[in-house]
Each structure stands twice: as structure tokens, then as C-alpha cells.
Amino acid sequence: MGSAHEITIEHGTQRVRVVRDGLVLAESDRPLVLRETGCPARYYLPAEDVRLDLLTASGTHTHCPFKGTASYWSLPDAPDLVWAYPDPKPGVAEIKDHLCFYDVEVVTG
């Protein structure tokens, strides 16, 4: 049979930061690292480590058969930059209340 679709979630140990145009949008030393078949590893950051005050909820929603329905947030010059699964499927329940960005910088040292 074909390769199975797999998602694994682990607790990251490195500090990650999201910076855009010199502005720190998020910084966390307790990210979740989600690895999914066929996709790059993604960092999901706890909502309390994200500058939600800088983000505006957008009307965009996408559906993933494995994770559920995603909601998106935007910056004035960056639509749908951030997403989250407010009600994730049971297999990925850990990512509830965590947000994901396309570009994350791993801070070392």
C-alpha cells in the first residue's frame, strides 16, 4: 500500500521568534513542532506568546482532513500570515490555543 499519512507533535526545546519588518510578532521557548507527511515542519506557538494585539482576524478558513478547520489572522501588509485550529481533531488536540506562522526563526545560543 502507499505510505500512510502521519502527523507527529513534539515539544520543541529551542526558542523560536517571528519577526516581520523589525517587529517581533511572537517569541516562545515552548513551541510545539508538528511534522506532517509531505509538509515542512511547522512550529505552533502558545497564544500567550503571540502579539495578538497586532493581528486582525481574517475571514479565511481552510479545512484539513487531518487537523480540522483553520482560522487565519493578518497584518495590514500580510494577509493570512498566521493560522490556528480552534477546534482541532482529537489526534492533534495539543495544537489547540497555538498559532502557526509561515516563517519562524529558531534562536540559538
CATH architecture of the domain covering 7-107:
Beta Complex (2.170)
Q: What's the pLDDT band for 107 if we cut at 50, 70, 90?
A: confident
Residues paired with residue 99 on neighbouring β-strands, in sequence order: 45, 84
Q: Which of 109, 108, 106 is nearest to 45 (CA)?
A: 106
| Residue ranges per structural domain of the chain | 7-107
Q: Residue 16: CB partners within 8 Å, gap ≥ 6? A: 26, 27, 28, 29, 31, 43, 45, 104, 105, 106, 107
Q: Give 77-105 pLDDT, tens digit per residue.
A: 999 999 999 999 999 999 999 999 988 99
Displacement of CA 71 from its chain's centroid (Å): 11
8 A C-beta contact, residue 12 and residue 31: yes
Displacement of CA 78 from its chain's centroid (Å): 16
8 A C-beta contact, residue 61 and residue 31: no
8 A C-beta contact, residue 51 and residue 42: no
pLDDT for the residue 109: 60
